[in-house]
Amino acid sequence: MRVLVTGGAGHIGSHACKALAAAGYEPIVYDNLGRGHRWAVKWGPLEEGDISDTPRVMEVIERHQPAALMHFAAYTYVGESVTDPLLYYRNNVAASAALIDAVVKTNAMPIVFSSTAAIYGIPQTIPIPEDQPAAPVNPYGFTKHVIERMLTDTDRACGVRSVSLRYFNAAGADPAGEIGEAHDPETHLIPLVLAAAKKRHLR
């Protein structure tokens, strides 16, 4: 079976593609390569395009007939979302609405959405329970929260099932070293900590 993976040329998306291939699925990567990498697409075909282009997404869905969609395409820099919030509302919210519209119009397949723990905002308790109310404190987290709500409403209206993954700091390369992080600039916590430790060790 085929799975459409938006943002499959990015860090988390490419790891998902490798896992899908290992499980016997064919990942169909849909990516505009704006922040992803062509070299990270190794386990299935690459369809270049933007998720905001509904006709293009519909054409890809109709041609490949995927059994499910994994949606990783988004901008993810918290600081950038604060200084340029409209960029995040256009790229994350509006573009995801166009993508979901394409799914509804062609193939009401289940969706796995790459959300974020940033939707929780300042935690009320530690560890954070999954059912803690959403209270994002930055535009990035809010855009992810809006997309989750869009998916919930679309399920109620159109029967498009979905699940949202609210992970924290995803980092590192796969054990075989075939893919890993390649952000410029690097803003993720774990790589920054390791880079600082390495720099200190070399002194």
- Give the residue numbers annotated as catalytic, written as ranges: 140
**d(Cα 6, Cα 13) in Å, to the nearest integer?**
7
User: In angstroms, how far is CA 187 from the centroid of its own chain?
Assistant: 16
CA-wise closest residue to 162 among 104, 82, 80, 86: 104
Using DSSP's 3-state secondary structure scheme, residue 23 falls into coil
Long-range pairs for 20-23: beta carbons < 8 A, 24 or more residues apart: 20/44, 20/70
Residue 49: other Cβ atoms inside 10 A: 17
Helices (H) and strands (E) in the chain, counts: 7, 6
